[in-house]
Amino acid sequence: MRSNKKAIDRKADKFRTSYGFIAACAGSAVGLGNIWGFPSRLGRGGGFSFLILYILCLALAGIPLLTAELSIGKQYGASPPAAFRAIHPRLGLIGLMQVLACFITLCYYCYFGGKLLEYTAAAVGLKLSGPLLWDIIFTLVTGIIVFLGVQAGIERCSRILMPVLVIILAGLCVFSFSLDGSREALAFMFKPDFTFFNADTFSSALTQLLFSLSVGYGCMITFGAYGAKNSMLKPAIAIAAADTIVAVLAALFIIPSAFVCRISPASGPTLLFDVVPLIFSRLTGSQFMIPVFFSMVFFAALTSSVSMMEVPAVMLMQETKLSRKSSINIIIILTILCSFPICISLRVFEAYEFISQYLLICISSVFTCIAAGWMMKKDYSTALGNAPSVVEKSLVILLCFVTPALLLIVPVSVLTGH
């Protein structure tokens, strides 16, 4: 393989510590997907069936892909197109697909992040309406943190916010276990029942997993380059563990609360917003928890949107030699322009989600597997550091055969309607 000079060489463009690197990657992974998406998809996917398929996908696709992306970043640099081109000149397009998917996702993420802000502000009595206004505020806050850079912005923000998030969520779980409906909810999640074992639940679990791990979006390639000192196996496992723990904690809070409030866990994307106000209103004197909870979700969303904006900004910087400031300004303007149609119709969001999650991510990730499993060879092994050889061999086998096959099921089943 061609070796290339890494583009990210400034000290300020690297994470300062290993903990900072893992916290920033976990901060990217943990977001709306865990707290909003996971419980609602789990509820729709029959609880147990979804959970089992999710864990299977994590082991067979999530962790291998995470190690592959971090390794590509570590070995070849931060911008996905340039990193893929360093593996093979024809693969640049794959990197571009990932950046495009990341940008499309950023557009709807800023819209929902804005909604969350609007909701939180309304809970403390600040009523300013207009989805576009909140969308713009969320996008600008994201842009400012990205502008501050890798160490001062992204790393510092994630190091503080990640542990706070886990502590608050764990507290909420303890609270939900004290409620009457918790037994029913635990049976829904953990009692074997394979009724929902089908292609739909599988696609939902796999796309949710990739979204949740921020894999397929070029994000982990970019962050892998910023944390280039480490071996990439341990961080990948730590990131996957943190992400899964937060998602399961969120479900352990939301699903029992839904049972207590007599709301169907299968009610879909509105689940979080239906359940949270109701459950807190049952506890006298805990109204203040509603804005506290939603601001926690807001901060989780912010560490994710920051990582999402970094990806196209870095690509622009590397490909056009524009300054960091100009690249971020361009991405902010484009994000606002492209998320504006979502404020008019949620159908635009559905189209964005379909194109990015079901097509671009799955197809580009097949090529990530090919690149890491078949083409990188020694470079992949170097990036994994001194991983036990049985682990390394298993990862290579998964990347060469199993993960791509699983990934292809999603676009094939949506395009053929099965």
Q: According to CB under 6 A, which one of 207, 307, 364, 365 is a site residue for ligand PFF?
A: 307
Restricting to residues 95-114, name those near ligand PFF by CB under 6 A.
102, 105
- Interface with ligand PFF: number of residues (CB under 6 A): 16
Minimum distance, C-beta of residue 274 to ligand PFF, in the bound complex (Å)? 20
Q: What is the 3-state secondary structure (H, E, C) of the chain?
A: CCCCCCCCCCHHHCCCCHHHHHHHHHHHHCCHHHHHHHHHHHHHCCCHHHHHHHHHHHHHHHHHHHHHHHHHHHHHCCCHHHHHHHHCHHHHHHHHHHHHHHHHHHHHHHHHHHHHHHHHHHHCCCCCCCHHHHHHHHHHHHHHHHHHCHHHHHHHHHHHHHHHHHHHHHHHHHHHHCCCCHHHHHHHHHCCCCCCCCHHHHHHHHHHHHHHHCCCCCHHHHHHHHCCCCCCHHHHHHHHHHHHHHHHHHHHHHHHHHHHCCCCCCCHHHHHHHHHHHHHHCCCCCCCHHHHHHHHHHHHHHHHHHHHHHHHHHHHHHHHCCCHHHHHHHHHHHHHHHHHHHHHCHHHHHHHHHHHHHHHHHHHHHHHHHHHHHHCCHHHHHHHCCCCHHHHHHHHHHHHHHHHHHHHHHHHHHHCCC
- Is 207 an interacting residue with respect to ligand PFF (CB under 6 A)? no
- Among residues 108 and 196, whose Cβ is nearest to ligand PFF? 108
- Among residues 260 and 306, whose Cβ is nearest to ligand PFF? 306
Nearest of 259, 249, 256, 237 to residue 395 by alpha carbon:
237
Q: Which residue is nearest to ligand PFF (CB)?
A: 33
| Piece in contact with ligand PFF (CB under 6 A), picked from 174-182, 211-219, 365-373, 379-387 | 211-219
Q: According to CB under 6 A, which one of 40, 204, 207, 304 is a site residue for ligand PFF?
A: 304
| Piece in contact with ligand PFF (CB under 6 A), picked from 54-62, 208-216, 226-234, 334-342 | 208-216
- Is 217 an interacting residue with respect to ligand PFF (CB under 6 A)? yes
- Is 249 an interacting residue with respect to ligand PFF (CB under 6 A)? no
For 365, residues 6+ apart whose C-beta sits below 8 A from its C-beta are 65, 210, 215, 216, 403, 407
Q: According to CB under 6 A, which one of 214, 257, 339, 403 is a site residue for ligand PFF?
A: 214
| Piece in contact with ligand PFF (CB under 6 A), picked from 30-38, 78-86, 118-126, 347-355 | 30-38
Minimum distance, C-beta of residue 5 to ligand PFF, in the bound complex (Å)? 25
Cα separation values, 1 from 68, 95, 219, Å: 16, 17, 23
- Is 219 an interacting residue with respect to ligand PFF (CB under 6 A)? yes
Minimum distance, C-beta of residue 288 to ligand PFF, in the bound complex (Å)? 25
Minimum distance, C-beta of residue 154 to ligand PFF, in the bound complex (Å)? 12
- Is 31 an interacting residue with respect to ligand PFF (CB under 6 A)? yes
- Among residues 33 and 227, whose Cβ is nearest to ligand PFF? 33
- Among residues 214 and 327, whose Cβ is nearest to ligand PFF? 214
- Is 308 an interacting residue with respect to ligand PFF (CB under 6 A)? yes
- Among residues 54 and 217, whose Cβ is nearest to ligand PFF? 217
- Is 29 an interacting residue with respect to ligand PFF (CB under 6 A)? yes
- Among residues 66 and 396, whose Cβ is nearest to ligand PFF? 66
For 127, residues 6+ apart whose C-beta sits below 8 A from its C-beta are 121
- Is 75 an interacting residue with respect to ligand PFF (CB under 6 A)? no
- Is 34 an interacting residue with respect to ligand PFF (CB under 6 A)? yes
- Is 28 an interacting residue with respect to ligand PFF (CB under 6 A)? yes
Residue numbers at the binding site for ligand PFF (CB under 6 A): 28-29, 31-34, 102, 105, 211-212, 214, 217, 219, 304, 307-308
